[in-house]
Amino acid sequence: MEKSRIGVLISGSGSNLQAIIDACEAKRINGEVVFVGSDRPDVFGLERAEKHKIPKFVVNYAERLKKLEGINAYILRRDHAPKDYDWDDVLRKQGVTLGAILDEGKSVKRAIIEAELLAEMNKFGYDLLVLAGFMRILSPYFIDKVNINQWNYRIMNIHPAILPAFPGTDGYGDTWRYGCKVAGCTVHFVDYGEDTGPIIGQQTFAVQEGETIEDIKTRGLELEWKLYSECIQLFAEDRLRVIERDIGNGRVKKIVWIAPPDKAEA
């Protein structure tokens, strides 16, 4: 099987990025990292990319947002939004809430910057986009351009909690604050919600009496490095299938079925 081409987006230290690079080099992942993109300059993850001679780029979100500050939603849509940006479509996919409607300007700005991000990414062919501590929400506008269709997800994320518990930015902190006796991490495909996409893999550990948030983070991160590489390898082996599960009351949920190795071609 051909090597998977993996694009990685980061916002920080990039220890997960490093684990993925190492796993590719050690052939634990049948793949190669073809680009590293960051929403911030001067993050250590970019130095890691450079060290391994992996092409890198920055789409400086903070700087771009500053430039668009004070421009109203109508002008943003008329003069700045990507030609194929469709506010109604984004709203429908995100769920029409009052907050979302009032946030039109924010949504357009996000799409404007995402169009730049896509343009950078598209300079490299890639099979899988891996979010490794990328701290920006990706909108339906972006997601639809990366996923092949609703059954072929191509964006993976790692989350520092046992989803669906504790979505958001501080999974290990929330785990500690709630006094959970078990902590862990989750790798999932990215859908339109915040940390709601189909779960690919999870790892857990028992929280010991007296452990701090920092202790949980340290232990969790070590599990993340291993788990992420394993899940990416499942993708590289073409063993991840998104299927629907009936969850009652006429509702269905998309979940991941992991094909056994011998069924990989199924």
Q: Known catalytic residues?
A: 159
| 38 contacts ligand GRF (rule: CB under 6 A) | no
CA count, 13 A, side-chain hemisphere, 212: 3
| Site residue total, ligand GRF (CB under 6 A) | 14
- Give the whole-angstrom CA distance, residue 139 versus residue 186: 21
**The dihedral sign for the CA sequence 248, 253, 256, 259:** positive
Smaller CB separation from ligand GRF, 90 or 216:
216
Which of these segments, 88-96, 139-147, 154-162, 239-247, binds ligand GRF (CB under 6 A)?
154-162
- Give the whole-angstrom CA distance, residue 26 versus residue 12: 24
CB of 12 to ligand GRF, least distance (A): 4
Among the listed residues 5, 13, 30, 165, the single contact to ligand GRF using CB under 6 A: 13
Cβ burial 229-264 (10 Å sphere, 16+ → b, else e) = bbbbbbbbbebbebeeeeeeeeeeebebeeeeeeee
| 221 contacts ligand GRF (rule: CB under 6 A) | yes
| 158 contacts ligand GRF (rule: CB under 6 A) | yes
| 20 contacts ligand GRF (rule: CB under 6 A) | no
Q: ∠206-28-232 over CA atoms, to 5°?
A: 70
| Cis preceding linkage at 82, omega within 30 | no
Smaller CB separation from ligand GRF, 182 or 243:
182
How are the residues of the chain apportioned to helix, strand and coil, as percentages rounded to the nearest 5? 40, 20, 40
| 12 contacts ligand GRF (rule: CB under 6 A) | yes
Among the listed residues 8, 9, 14, 126, the single contact to ligand GRF using CB under 6 A: 14
Smaller CB separation from ligand GRF, 81 or 128:
128
| 174 contacts ligand GRF (rule: CB under 6 A) | no
| 34 contacts ligand GRF (rule: CB under 6 A) | no
| 216 contacts ligand GRF (rule: CB under 6 A) | no
Candidates 172, 201, 225; CA nearest to 17 is 225
* Residues near ligand GRF, by CB under 6 A: 10, 12-16, 132-133, 158-160, 185, 221, 224
